[in-house]
């Protein structure tokens, strides 16, 4: 992880937030390459979940919502207990439950149920995971408003708006990508756990009784997406079913990726949760808003509250998984070569374009290729500085899958070399073929 953090900074993937002021704990900024990678991850998700399906609609709900939403969702109530954290294993516990379960008279004597250490607790804090802020000018408690801790609630409250305007029939889903905020008390681990992050959530509304089957179907589809579309290695992915279920769920499990280090359960950390939320959410919003949220099935002449299967992935965690999955060091001719083997479809830059030398018309020819690629929507990087080997290595570290080199032969017969990042193999193709060749390989 330390190597990934330093490479991320060096190559412009991720920077610490407000670094010149000493940084802000658990908040990170995406640099020029990072923003592209994360966008590609989000676009791959949107394509699979929205554009490729007739039964899912997109939504972009606001971060700020009516405060009652968070009462209905259970967030106001469920996150206001005093919490402590074990300084040794960083697990968090509610003080009351901890004391009850361990039978200890006070915290000093309470043993951590997770790692067994005694009395290594942080000071108890009255803790709500939600960030609170103020709406309007008056500092009045009536104007308290929250930064959403999940995007899902924006979907639930728009359930009928979307269903009716898009004329969808059950089963159908609503997908959304957006920021969420949580005042995490176990921060750290780079972008794995941050105070501000982006979620890619989809809520699938189904007829009660069909929920078990849909849960399984979504579990499989999401698993396939992580492996095939994102390219995460099969041996670094696992599915972890939950034994203890949240108050809203009847079945739940996580897709976990092996990050290593101190993340999650011995290096395995959740990147996506799949939950059967029953009719809890719509039922609660119906109760708290006083508005009917039932679905009317015109054919069967039935009314009911749909059950919801949720797939909830973190854009930042998936992006971090892509980086960790791609990072590789190998020895080449007595030197260490660092490579980010990101799938070409996700890589921030698709090609580096290099004139071998800065003369004989090569820079002009290379610039032309660079322009052709850009015009076709293939992000490329033009680089004429330094030895060609060093230029290749810089792009290897940046994760750029192809290097296009213009040399003396190009000027004579119009061919260029294409170098592959992962194998370092070089092929000669015609300059006119470059765009088509890359388009095929990226796809
Ligand atoms: P954890 O147990 O790791 O705190 P969670 O179970 O609270 O995660 P969910 O509420 O299921 O997470 O959120 C869905 C997804 O949102 C997670 O799988 C993760 O990818 C992402 N996510 C949640 N909290 C954070 C965070 N603090 N920083 C970055 N991503 C997060």
The whole-angstrom separation of Cα 271 and Cα 254 is: 7
What CA–CA distance (Å, rounded) separates 272 from 369? Answer: 40
| Ligand 1 neighbourhood includes 31 CB (under 6 angstroms) | no
- Take atom 11 of ligand 1 and give the residue whose Cα is closest: 273
Q: How far apart are CA 319 and CA 108, in angstroms?
A: 40
Four-residue CA torsion sign, 316, 318, 321, 322: negative
Ligand 1 centroid–CA 272 distance in Å is: 8
Q: Give the ligand 1 atom nearest the CA of 315.
A: 20
Give 231-237's long-range contacts (Cβ < 8 A, gap of 24+). Answer: 231/322, 231/325, 231/342, 231/343, 231/346, 232/257, 232/321, 232/322, 232/325, 233/325, 236/325
Q: What is the largest CA-CA distance in the chain?
A: 86
Strands 268-276 and 295-297: unpaired
Q: Which residues contact 93 (CB under 8 A, 6 or more apart)?
A: 83, 84, 85, 86, 112, 113
Segment 391-420 mean pLDDT: 97
User: Measured between alpha carbons, how far is 388 from 121 in angstroms, rounded to an integer?
Assistant: 55
Where residue 32 falls among pLDDT bands split at 50, 70, 90? very high
Q: Measured from the CB, is residue 199 less than 6 Å from ligand 1?
A: yes
Q: Are 149 and 182 in contact (CB under 8 A)?
A: yes
Nearest to 385 by CA among 411, 401, 400, 363: 363
What is the distance of C-alpha 438 from the center of its chain? 26
d(C-alpha 272, C-alpha 255), whole Å = 5
119 CA to centre of ligand 1 in angstroms? 28
- pLDDT at position 362 is 97
Mean per-residue pLDDT, 204-226? 97
182 lines ligand 1 (CB under 6 A): yes
pLDDT for position 140: 61
What does the mean pLDDT of the chain come to? 94
Q: Tell whether ligand 1 has an atom less than 6 A from the beta carbon of residue 197.
A: yes
pLDDT above 70 coverage of the chain, percent: 97
Q: What are phi and psi of 441, to 5 degrees?
A: -70, -35
SS3 176: strand
User: How far, in Å, from the CA of 314 to the mean position of ligand 1?
Assistant: 6
Distance CA 25, CA 196 (A): 11
Task: Give residue-wise pLDDT tens across range 64-114.
Answer: 999 999 999 999 987 666 789 899 988 888 787 788 778 889 999 999 988
Closest to 306 (Cα-Cα) out of 379, 224, 208 = 208
* CA 263–ligand 1 middle distance (angstroms): 13
Ligand 1, atom 1, residue with closest C-alpha: 270
Say which range, 179-193, 223-237, 274-288, has the weakest mean pLDDT: 179-193
397: pLDDT strictly greater than 90? yes
Q: Is 316 in the pocket of ligand 1 (CB under 6 A)?
A: yes
Q: Is 149 in the pocket of ligand 1 (CB under 6 A)?
A: no
In the prediction, which pLDDT does 139 show?
66
Domains belonging to the chain, first-starting first, are 2-63+147-323 (3.30.930.10), 349-442 (3.40.50.800)
| pLDDT value, residue 119 | 85
Residue 240 binned pLDDT confidence (cut-offs 50, 70, 90): very high
Say how far apart CA 35 and CA 379 lie, in whole Å: 13
Residue with CA nearest ligand 1 atom 21: 314
State the Cα–Cα distance between residues 199 and 179, nearest whole angstrom. 6
Indicate if ligand 1 lies below 6 Å from the C-beta of 317. Answer: yes
Mean pLDDT, residues 16-45 taken together: 96
Band (pLDDT 50/70/90 cuts) for residue 6 is very high
Residue 369 contacts residue 353 (beta carbons within 8 Å): yes
Ligand 1 site, residue 321, Cβ cutoff 6 A: no
Pair of tokens at residue 258: 């092996």
Report residue 384 as tokens.
């004429």
User: For ligand 1, is residue 273 a contact (CB within 6 Å)?
Assistant: yes
* pLDDT at 296 (0 to 100): 96
Q: What is the pLDDT of residue 164?
A: 97
CB-based contacts of 49, cutoff 8 Å, min separation 6: 56, 173, 175, 200, 202
- Residue ID of nearest Cα to ligand 1 atom 19: 314
SS3 state of residue 387: coil
pLDDT at 99: 85
What pLDDT, on the 0 to 100 scale, is given for residue 265?
82
The model's confidence at residue 305, banded by pLDDT at 50, 70 and 90, is very high
How far, in Å, is the centroid of ligand 1 from the Cα of 196?
11
Q: Ligand 1 pocket check: which of 197, 222, 249, 271 to mutate, most ligand atoms within 8 Å of Cβ? A: 197
The secondary structure of residue 74, as a DSSP letter, is: T
Task: Specify the pLDDT at position 266.
Answer: 87
CA distance 168 to 152: 19
75 Cβ below 6 A of ligand 1: no
- State residue 142's pLDDT score: 65
> Rounded CA gap, 67 and 62, in Å?
13
pLDDT at position 298 is 87
Task: Pick the closest to residue 170 from 159, 186, 158 (CA basis).
Answer: 159
Residue whose CA is closest, atom 10 of ligand 1? Answer: 150
Position 137 pLDDT exceeds 80: no
User: At 435, is the pLDDT very low, low, confident or very high (cuts 50, 70, 90)?
Assistant: very high
Q: In the Cβ-directed half-sphere of 415, how many Cα atoms lie within 13 Å?
A: 8
User: What percentage of the chain has pLDDT greater than the value 90?
Assistant: 81
Cα gap 118→102, rounded to integer Å: 11
**Cα(277)–Cα(264) distance, integer angstroms:** 24
- Residue ID of nearest Cα to ligand 1 atom 26: 193
Pocket mutation for ligand 1, best pick of 179, 193, 243 (most atoms within 8 Å of C-beta): 193
What pLDDT is attached to residue 91? 82
Helix (H, G, I), strand (E, B) or coil at 275: strand
pTM of the model: 0.91
Ligand 1 proximity of 194 Cβ (cutoff 6 Å): yes
Express each pLDDT in 142-187 by its tens digit. 688 999 999 999 999 999 999 999 999 999 999 999 999 998 865 6
383 lines ligand 1 (CB under 6 A): no
């Amino acid at each position: 992880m330390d190597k990934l953090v330093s490479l991320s900074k060096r190559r412009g993937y991720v920077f610490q937030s407000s670094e010149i002021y000493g940084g802000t704990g658990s908040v990170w900024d995406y640099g020029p390459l990072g923003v592209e990678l994360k966008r590609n991850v989000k676009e791959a998700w949107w394509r699979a979940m929205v554009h490729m399906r007739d039964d899912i609609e997109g939504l972009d709900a606001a971060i700020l919502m009516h405060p009652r939403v968070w009462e209905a969702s259970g967030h106001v109530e469920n996150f206001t207990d005093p919490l402590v954290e074990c300084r040794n294993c960083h697990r968090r516990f509610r003080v009351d439950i901890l004391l009850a379960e361990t039978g200890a008279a006070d915290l000093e004597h309470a043993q951590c149920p997770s790692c067994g250490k005694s009395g290594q607790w942080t000071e108890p804090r009255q803790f709500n995971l939600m960030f609170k802020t103020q709406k309007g000018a008056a500092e009045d408690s009536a104007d308290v408003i929250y930064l959403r801790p999940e995007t899902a609630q924006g979907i639930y409250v728009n359930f009928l708006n979307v269903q009716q305007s898009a004329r969808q029939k059950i089963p159908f889903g609503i997908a959304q990508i957006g920021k969420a905020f949580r005042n995490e008390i176990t921060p750290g681990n780079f972008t794995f756990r941050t105070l501000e992050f982006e979620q890619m959530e989809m809520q699938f509304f189904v007829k009660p009784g069909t929920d078990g089957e849909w849960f399984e179907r979504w579990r499989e589809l999401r698993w396939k997406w992580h492996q095939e579309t994102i390219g995460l290695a099969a041996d670094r992915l696992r599915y972890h079913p939950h034994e203890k279920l949240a108050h809203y769920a009847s079945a739940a499990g996580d897709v976990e990726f092996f990050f290593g280090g101190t993340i999650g359960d011995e290096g395995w950390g959740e990147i996506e949760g799949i939950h059967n939320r029953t009719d809890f959410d719509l039922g609660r919003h119906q109760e708290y808003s006083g508005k009917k949220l039932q679905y009317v099935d015109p054919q069967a002449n039935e009314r009911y509250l749909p059950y919801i299967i949720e797939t909830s992935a973190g854009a930042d965690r998936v992006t971090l998984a892509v980086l960790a999955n791609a990072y590789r060091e190998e020895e080449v001719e007595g030197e260490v070569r660092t490579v980010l083997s990101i799938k070409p479809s996700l890589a921030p830059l698709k090609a580096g374009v290099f004139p071998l030398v800065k003369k004989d018309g090569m820079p002009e020819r290379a610039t032309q290729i660079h322009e052709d690629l850009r015009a076709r929507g293939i992000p490329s990087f033009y680089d004429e500085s330094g030895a060609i080997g060093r230029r290749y290595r810089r792009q290897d570290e940046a994760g750029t899958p192809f290097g296009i080199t213009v040399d003396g032969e190009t000027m004579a017969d119009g061919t260029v070399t294409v170098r592959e990042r992962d194998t370092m193999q070089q092929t000669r193709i015609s300059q006119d073929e470059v765009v088509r060749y890359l388009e095929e390989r990226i796809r």
